[in-house]
Amino acid sequence: MANANTPKEQQSAYERWEMASFSDVNYERNRGISANNQPKKKDMSSVNPAEIAQVFESTRKDAYKKGMQEGFAAGMAQARELAQVEKAQFMQLMNAFASALESADEQIAEDVLSLALDIAKSMLKIKLDVDKKVLLPVVLDAIHYLPHIQRPARILVHHEDMHLLREHMADEITNDHWQIHEDSNIERGGCLVETGANQVDATNQTRWKRITEALAKNNDWLLP
């Protein structure tokens, strides 16, 4: 075998041939090793389409399941948020309704009371026109309200009621020395009782005013 350390110009023709052949063998060997180290490409012709379809179907199902779970969670969160908003709106509506109902009840009560007073006033006025003797208990209450009579003592009534008092209360008037006087400003059915130090206003308007004030209402007797 030729010596590899011998200069090329001192080598014989055989030695040079031998070295060249050996170099060719090493080259081919190294090239084969390099080729073996390269990754082999997969033969696509060996892939089964059914397997590919199965992989795609499995991926699709996983993605669908995950999307459904995420969508359900997001939908439930949004539903809870909307439920809270609707609950707050409902409670606000209920409070407003309760307040309106309470105000309506109060207004209805006020209206019913006003109506009742108007009806009572109309009935009293009708009774005064129909029953002339309705004045008698009014005058009796007024004069008995003053236990100590001081002179002068007068009963002021409508001129049409003067004869009624003289006819039905002659004894009380005479014994207690009451004087009956006419006053055109006093409506029939009412009276004013006066002594030297006191006055009892038993006119229809004043008595009605006391009733309405006790009920915290302003209902004028003179209004229809």
- pLDDT tens by residue, 153-174: 889 999 999 989 988 888 888 8
Which residue, among 175, 173, 179, has the nearest Cα to 152 in the 3D structure? 179
Looking at the fold, whether 112 and 89 belong to one and the same domain comes out as yes
Q: Residue written as tokens 């006025």? A: 125
Looking at the fold, whether 142 and 68 belong to one and the same domain comes out as no
Task: Note the pLDDT of residue 147.
Answer: 62
Residue 157 lies in a domain: yes
- pLDDT of residue 2 exceeding 70, the answer is no
Quick: pLDDT tens for 12-69: 554 554 555 445 545 455 555 454 555 555 555 566 777 777 877 788 788 878 878 8
Q: Residue written as tokens 């006191």? A: 198
Residue 33 lies in a domain: no
Which residue, among 186, 191, 180, 190, has the nearest Cα to 153 in the 3D structure? 180
Looking at the fold, whether 118 and 158 belong to one and the same domain comes out as no
Looking at the fold, whether 139 and 206 belong to one and the same domain comes out as yes
Looking at the fold, whether 141 and 125 belong to one and the same domain comes out as no
Residue 122 lies in a domain: yes
Looking at the fold, whether 117 and 140 belong to one and the same domain comes out as no
Is 149 in contact with 204 (CB distance < 8 Å)? no
Looking at the fold, whether 140 and 166 belong to one and the same domain comes out as yes
The domain of 193 spans 132-214
Residue 124 lies in a domain: yes
Burial class (CB in 10 A: 0-12, 13-18, 19+), 202: buried
Quick: pLDDT tens for 112-136: 888 888 888 888 888 888 788 888 8
User: Of 82, 107, 130, which one is at a domain's C-terminal end?
Assistant: 130
Looking at the fold, whether 116 and 151 belong to one and the same domain comes out as no
Task: Note the pLDDT of residue 27.
Answer: 47
Residue 42 lies in a domain: no
Residue 154 lies in a domain: yes
The pair of structure tokens assigned to 190 is 């009412």
User: Of 79, 113, 130, which one is at a domain's C-terminal end?
Assistant: 130
Residue 57 lies in a domain: no
Structural domains of the chain, count = 2
Provide the CATH number for the domain around residue 155. 3.30.2320.30
19: which residues sit within 8 A by CB, 6+ positions away? Answer: 2, 4, 11
